[in-house]
A = this chain, B = another copy of it.
Amino acid sequence: MYIYLNTDFVEADKAVVHVSDLAIQRGYGIFDFFRVMDNVPLFLEDYLDRFYASAATMRLDVVLDREAFKSTLFELIKRNNLPMSGIKVILTGGNSPDGYQISKPNLIIQQTALKFPPDTVQPEGIKVITHEYVREIPNVKTINYITGIWTQKKMMEQGAADVLYHMRGEVSEFPRCNFFVVKQDGTVSTPSQNILHGVTRKHVLELAKKKFTINEEVVTVNDVHQAREAFLTSTTKRIIPIVQIDDKRIGDGKPGAVTLTLLQDLIALEREERERSRLIKVL
């Protein structure tokens, strides 16, 4: 297994960075993550758009331009031959002489085998709990998950599967997923503020728009209590129905029809994307 590190493909266990790296010294870095299906990276352009935008906002230079990045990526996929996998791209603040100034970033591209979620939704749905917090610079995919990791204990103690962030009752996102509700009138809503713009969120919004009325807006905890359905979206999890928030049941406590429809539409979109991307590579 290879990891790409700055300029070279290195054996995974030899991929090391110096302790002066600004991620270790000051938690400063960004990343992105996408899936590979049958050796084809899905929705790659969307993820690269976000990765380069995160880098620019955080003032980190990407040593590879977009075309060089893609060549490197395809070479990594070829070498590792993990047909169903996830690829994580990390860009740190680099080896900093004084442990505070941004330096020449370290670029890490790592691939891991990934079990894809099943094509049918888990019939029981999940419980989530709320936690008051907004990520700093929320539109950037920084590496800062201190609160996400730290709240895992509380989450497990309460038998929940994820933690929904809110600030003074306005919900935003999960540590690694976006959030949607289906209201009693059948409209589909998702928070517009204090979120990372997930690529799966974007696709689900596009799919939902074809069949339902969608709103990107303020969503409150009370809106969630009143909702008919709720679900999360993420690159690795696709769509997961949410049937309980804290001690409140959502809707009838079962995955709803809109959630199930959107999951099927998303799976179909993924397959189209895989065929389209495979074609582009061949051409």
Q: A58-B150, A99-B88, A149-B102 are in contact. Are A27 and B23 (CB under 8 A)?
A: yes
How many Å lie between the Cα of A90 and that of B22 in the bound state? 12
A3 touches B19 (CB 8 A): yes
Q: A19-B3, A90-B19, A153-B59 are in contact. Are A24 and B102 (CB under 8 A)?
A: no
Within A76-108, the residues touching B (CB, 8 Å) are 88, 90, 92-93, 99-102, 108
A136 at the interface (CB under 8 A from B): yes
Interface size on A, residues (CB 8 A): 44
A237 at the interface (CB under 8 A from B): no
What are 29 residue pairs bridging A and B, where the CB atoms are less than 8 Å apart in the complex? A13-B18, A16-B16, A16-B19, A17-B19, A19-B90, A19-B108, A22-B149, A23-B24, A24-B92, A24-B108, A24-B143, A25-B31, A26-B144, A26-B145, A26-B148, A27-B142, A27-B144, A28-B149, A58-B150, A59-B150, A88-B99, A100-B149, A133-B136, A136-B147, A137-B147, A137-B150, A142-B146, A144-B144, A144-B146
- Give min CB distance, A87 to chain B, whole Å: 12
Chain B residues closer than 8 Å to A240, beta-carbon distance: none
A173 at the interface (CB under 8 A from B): no
- Quick one: closest B residue to A30, CB to CB? B146
Chain B residues closer than 8 Å to A99, beta-carbon distance: 88
